[in-house]
Structure 1
Amino acid sequence: MTTDAPVRLGFVCVQNAGRSQMAAAFAERERDRRDWAERVEIVTGGTHPANEVHPVVVEAMNEIGVDLSGRMPRAISSEELAACDVVATMGCSTLELDAERSVEVRDWALDDPHGEEFGTVREIRETVEDQVTALFEDLESRLENE
């Protein structure tokens, strides 16, 4: 990572309908809090995207003031992922990147919120938020040491 080019973060799961959507939203919020619009780019997608963000995930995020209702799951390409500095998978990926440059892949091993009760989705949401915050703390440390 260099301070000249933005750090590119990718959040990936199979359907891009739950965990990766939450992670991207938390990353956007964290980027805004730190005023890093010029320093961090965020992409999210799935290997087999669903037709919609899981309604229970939308509800759980609405509970804390984050609106995912306008978001749509999308496919993410190997090229997009290879252009990332860090890719966080949600625990459901067999992602293998064949990139010319190094891409740090972190598997967060999160439970799938699909079909879960609201209380469980809330716990998953909190874990996702903690993981994203830790990622940004790590980025801050790296960027300060460059």
Structure 2
Amino acid sequence: MTSKPSVLFVCVHNAGRSQMAAGYLQHLAGDRVTVLSAGSEPGNQVNPVAVQAMAEEGIDISRAVPKILTTGAVRESDVVITMGCGDTCPYFPGKRYEDWVLDDPAGQDIDMVRGVRDDIKNRVQALIRSLDA
């Protein structure tokens, strides 16, 4: 039996995109996947508009706390998904990397954040299919 895959979502502040993606993956894949998220420059709190947008989907990310990205987290992960952190994201050979180009929801209204949320949901569903394959 193989161990369950681990996925690390990384964005700059770990306050919006990466938290929404982690919330979706945890919700949709359950305990089949280990879910991590972090930021190269973590914010003080998760974006309240992102929390609101995810709550509309029945997913509570209100207790999530932005965390600093560590090389250990990258080393432990099978899949690393970056979202706009550019050169600040560490790279380790042998890892599966994806860069998801998503608008930053920081300071945006709920309608804009819903669009980012829905994009993330579609990408997470595709990710789950690829992990299950």
TM range (shorter): over 0.9
After TM superposition, give the deviation of residue 116 of structure 1 in Å.
1.1
In structure 1, how many angstroms separate the alpha carbons of the residues matched to 2:28 and 2:10?
Answer: 18
**Aligned CA-pair RMSD:** 1.3
Alpha-carbon distance in 1 for matches of 2:58, 2:38: 22
Q: Which residue of 1 aligns with 2:73?
A: 80
Q: Deviations for 1:25-44, whole angstroms, at most 9, x for unmatched residues?
A: 00001112xxxx2x421111
- Is this contact kept in 2: 1:26–1:132, CA < 8 A? yes
Between the two proteins, the alignment pairs up a number of residues equal to 132
Q: Which amino acid is the alignment partner of residue 90 of structure 1?
A: M
Aligned partners of 2:56 and 2:11: how far apart in 1? 23
**1:92–1:109: 8 Å Cα contact kept in structure 2?**
no
**1:29 matched to which residue of 2?**
27
1:7-86 aligned within 5 A? 7-32=5-30, 37=31, 39-86=32-79
Tell me what 2:3 maps to.
Answer: 5
Alpha carbons 2:38, 2:66 under 8 Å: kept: yes
Deviation for aligned residue 1:46: 0.6
**Where does the alignment leave 5 or more consecutive residues of structure 1 unmatched?**
142-146
Q: TM-score, normalised by structure 1?
A: 0.85
Q: Which amino acid aligns with 2:74?
A: L
Task: Give the C-alpha shift of residue 92 in structure 1.
Answer: 3.1
The DSSP-based 3-state class of the residue aligned with 2:98 is strand
Deviations, residues 13-68 of structure 1 (Å, cap 9, x unaligned):
01000000000000001112xxxx2x421111111100000111111111121111
Higher gyration radius (CA): 1
Encode CA deviations 1:69-120: one digit per residue, 9 max, x unaligned: 1111111201211221111111333223135xx1111000110000111111
The equivalences for 1:111-130 within 5 A come to 111-130=103-122
Query: Which one has a larger percent helix, Structure 1 or Structure 2?
Result: 2
The 10-residue stretch of structure 1 (74-83 or 119-128) with the greater mean CA deviation from structure 2: 74-83
Percent identity over the alignment?
38
Question: Under a length normalisation based on structure 2, what TM-score does the superposition of the two structures give?
Answer: 0.93
